[in-house]
A and B are shown apart, each in its own frame.
Chain A
């Protein structure tokens, strides 16, 4: 299983991990990842939301620290909760579990053998006994060996047993999305594969505050959940995050910016691209965009998206994953059915191309702000 390339990137994760900002210390500088001389900036600009005040005291955290904070809250409150996967014991290759083993013991935060199908199968078993299982798959790219356990087992456990048995206590976390140089197996966005599986939930956050609140909802949800963490944001996104546990509801999209001309839908890092595109469209074209973060891929919030499209009459959906069979197709088809009379232009999808995710060509591959901007321009002139 791609051992060599994985080792290389693991090394990279470690190297970065030795820098400033371990869990509990001040957050590392939010510099975008700059890896080669040919790339001078990330393809997005992280924009944090207003500081949430309703959940008590906050602390500056980047995305990996907000994940650790969430796991810390769960392990403290739920004595049955266990955290496991490849290399989570020393803190994880992305530092998401730093300090948890020392705090909660090696029986609750532990390494497994290197075997993804085993990790998910094991997690299902823990959850079947009623305990809370939080499994980590090291990269979303490596979740496929566990596809059978997810599709045929986790997703169908409750249904096939007539609710005699279930594995709702299972949450699978996995780093997700492009990272500038991750190539074929450290960049993938596999959410569409999982969107075709009745019985699981698929959730993707856009920021540290969202990540912690949505992760805690996944862990407490009584259904098996897959939680994809945009790894490019692990260090790049920093904001004030509540220290105590709080929950952001699943299956609820969020309108981040109201607008009247076009609805823009995205999730994960791409939300930040869309925010910038909305500003560009306003400034350069005088177009008012409504920006929606979908957050939950399955079951998704049809109502919020359709309500917006009824108002704007236009829809642009954008995701990093390849366009064919991507989740934008599902959104597009549903909106077309629900809002046919309101649509003033064809729904547009700006996505990755139908190729594997390339290494050196990444700047040309991703659905960046210019590609999205151009789509809006054409849509308005339709």
Chain B
């Protein structure tokens, strides 16, 4: 039994959650025997010894003489780190990041500007003016808090719900709109569906629809940064549904064995489209998987922008200094529908949604904090709402007036240079349009 305790105790050092579900009365002295060199031992291990210590190369562990399965602890999971309560009060002053007023105002303005843009583009899709949209309702705090804790040149890999990170980095409203409208100002040249943003000058790798593919890619980029020794980190965002993909397993494991300076940032908002988390996994969320890969892990309150900021800041510092991955699981609630192609009332109650919208929202929590500091009041709120709405509407109207990109953009960038057979296909379309142009919406496109 003592050996079981030692084994569990060792696990417990990395993840106290598992320790709690093991036998009681962990024998502390045994922990000492577990420390010291580990993996390096196997290479020089002597096989002549007659003692009963395990010699398996695959794990560093003691023998036990009684049968005990390790039980997952899902009832009392990894705790959720928070800095302020729902009224915006700092709970533990030693955890207060004490951010200056202008930075906190920037947090608030970026979160609310994103919210305003969401409302207008959501409506725009409802009216058929853009083909698709995904809002960020309820996730504003995770985007802004994490983006603020990064260096501006840290490379971001994400999905289609991280617009706030771009917003924080100063991506212009004009380009958000240009992408959603696929107009001539879209740097992506009108090729992808709406909300598939990307910006090289903001170090935000272009979004793609296939889930989780960005996870092992982000690890490769982090490895490259390590090789270049340039003090850059990579952050990779994904939802708890995407974490079920094989690519998530690939990325987590590679990041640990190849010692990459990366932050995995999982947004656990309770649903993957209509699938609730109890149909997604049976462990303790995503954070509990981290230690299984040898990854330092934490769970934070995603509605608490300071908790997100603190966790990301420390993870970034250590990831770069130590060349090892960190996993942050931010607990949130997806207040909006999955996308404009989805009606979430088909699978969850209005009461549930209302709770998070009215009682526990990242924006209102930060506003409480600012009001209590005397940094914000009703009048400023009103003025800012009006001003941000005006800015979004201006960008919106301009985007709508803009022509679509030139038709040649359908053929370029498939390869760096256009192969002759593709050039022929482009010419063939040109000839076709000369004869049948009246049947195509040519006028909407830039010449």
Stretch at the interface among B124-132, B135-143, B246-254: B246-254
A152 pairs with B208, CB closer than 8 A: yes
Asked whether any CB of chain A lies closer than 8 Å to the CB of B414, the reply is yes
Among the listed B191, B208, B222, which residue makes an inter-chain contact with A125, where contact means beta carbons less than 8 Å apart?
A: B222
Q: Collect the chain A residues with CB atoms within 8 Å of residue B217's CB.
A: 121-122, 124-125, 128, 149, 153
Asked whether any CB of chain B lies closer than 8 Å to the CB of A117, the reply is yes
Interface string of B182-214 (1 = CB under 8 A from A): 000011110110001011100001101010010
Stretch at the interface among A87-95, A107-115, A227-235: A107-115
Known contacts A82-B227, A117-B246; is-contact A159 B208 (Cβ 8 Å) = no
Q: Give the distance in Å from the alpha carbon of A122 to the alpha carbon of B188 in the complex.
A: 23
Asked whether any CB of chain B lies closer than 8 Å to the CB of A50, the reply is no
Among the listed B196, B247, B257, which residue makes an inter-chain contact with A160, where contact means beta carbons less than 8 Å apart?
A: B196
Q: Collect the chain A residues with CB atoms within 8 Å of residue B246's CB.
A: 115, 117, 145
Known contacts A121-B220, A302-B421; is-contact A113 B253 (Cβ 8 Å) = yes
Among the listed B188, B216, B416, which residue makes an inter-chain contact with A121, where contact means beta carbons less than 8 Å apart?
A: B216
Q: How far is the CB of B244 from chain A (nearest CB, A)?
A: 14
Within 8 A of B (CB), among A156-175: 156-166, 168
Known contacts A149-B213, A161-B206; is-contact A117 B247 (Cβ 8 Å) = yes
Residue of A nearest to B256 (CB): A113
> For B198, B222, B250, which residue has the most chain A Cβ atoms within 10 angstroms?
B250
A158 pairs with B225, CB closer than 8 A: no
Residue of A nearest to B217 (CB): A125
Q: How far is the CB of B251 from chain A (nearest CB, A)?
A: 7
B210 pairs with A165, CB closer than 8 A: no
A153 pairs with B213, CB closer than 8 A: yes
B208 pairs with A153, CB closer than 8 A: yes
Within 8 A of A (CB), among B282-303: none
Q: How far is the CB of A133 from chain B (nearest CB, A)?
A: 7
Q: Give the distance in Å from the alpha carbon of A161 to the alpha carbon of B189 in the complex.
A: 8
Known contacts A121-B247, A129-B224; is-contact A160 B199 (Cβ 8 Å) = no
Q: How far is the CB of B159 from chain A (nearest CB, A)?
A: 13
Asked whether any CB of chain A lies closer than 8 Å to the CB of B335, the reply is no
Q: How far is the CB of B140 from chain A (nearest CB, A)?
A: 25
Asked whether any CB of chain B lies closer than 8 Å to the CB of A195, the reply is no
Known contacts A148-B213, A160-B206, A164-B188; is-contact A112 B254 (Cβ 8 Å) = yes
Q: Collect the chain B residues with CB atoms within 8 Å of residue A251's CB.
A: 419
Asked whether any CB of chain A lies closer than 8 Å to the CB of B6, the reply is no
Asked whether any CB of chain B lies closer than 8 Å to the CB of A269, the reply is no
Residue of A nearest to B415 (CB): A223
Q: How far is the CB of A55 from chain B (nearest CB, A)?
A: 25
Asked whether any CB of chain A lies closer than 8 Å to the CB of B218, the reply is yes
Q: Give the distance in Å from the alpha carbon of A10 to the alpha carbon of B258 in the complex.
A: 23
Asked whether any CB of chain B lies closer than 8 Å to the CB of A118, the reply is yes
Q: Collect the chain A residues with CB atoms within 8 Å of residue B441's CB.
A: none
Interface residue tally for chain B (C-beta within 8 Å): 49
B414 pairs with A160, CB closer than 8 A: no
Asked whether any CB of chain B lies closer than 8 Å to the CB of A199, the reply is yes
Q: Collect the chain A residues with CB atoms within 8 Å of residue B157's CB.
A: 125
A121 pairs with B215, CB closer than 8 A: yes
Q: Collect the chain B residues with CB atoms within 8 Å of residue A16's CB.
A: none
Q: Collect the chain A residues with CB atoms within 8 Å of residue B413's CB.
A: 158-159, 162-163
A199 pairs with B415, CB closer than 8 A: yes
> For B192, B216, B254, B412, which residue has the most chain A Cβ atoms within 10 angstroms?
B216
Asked whether any CB of chain A lies closer than 8 Å to the CB of B309, the reply is no
Asked whether any CB of chain B lies closer than 8 Å to the CB of A336, the reply is no
Q: Give the distance in Å from the alpha carbon of A165 to the alpha carbon of B323 in the complex.
A: 25
Q: Collect the chain A residues with CB atoms within 8 Å of residue B221's CB.
A: 125-126, 128-129
Q: Collect the chain A residues with CB atoms within 8 Å of residue B412's CB.
A: 163
> For B200, B208, B217, which residue has the most chain A Cβ atoms within 10 angstroms?
B217
Within 8 A of B (CB), among A284-303: 299, 302-303
Known contacts A159-B414, A160-B192; is-contact A125 B224 (Cβ 8 Å) = yes
A-B contact pairs, 8 of them (CB 8 A): A113-B250, A118-B247, A118-B254, A125-B220, A131-B224, A152-B213, A153-B217, A166-B416
Binding site for B on A (CB under 8 A): 80, 82, 107-108, 110, 112-113, 115, 117-118, 120-131, 133, 145, 148-149, 152-153, 156-166, 168, 198-199, 201, 222-223, 251, 299, 302-303
The 9 closest A-B pairs by CB, nearest first: A125-B220, A121-B216, A118-B250, A161-B206, A125-B217, A299-B419, A122-B220, A162-B189, A222-B416
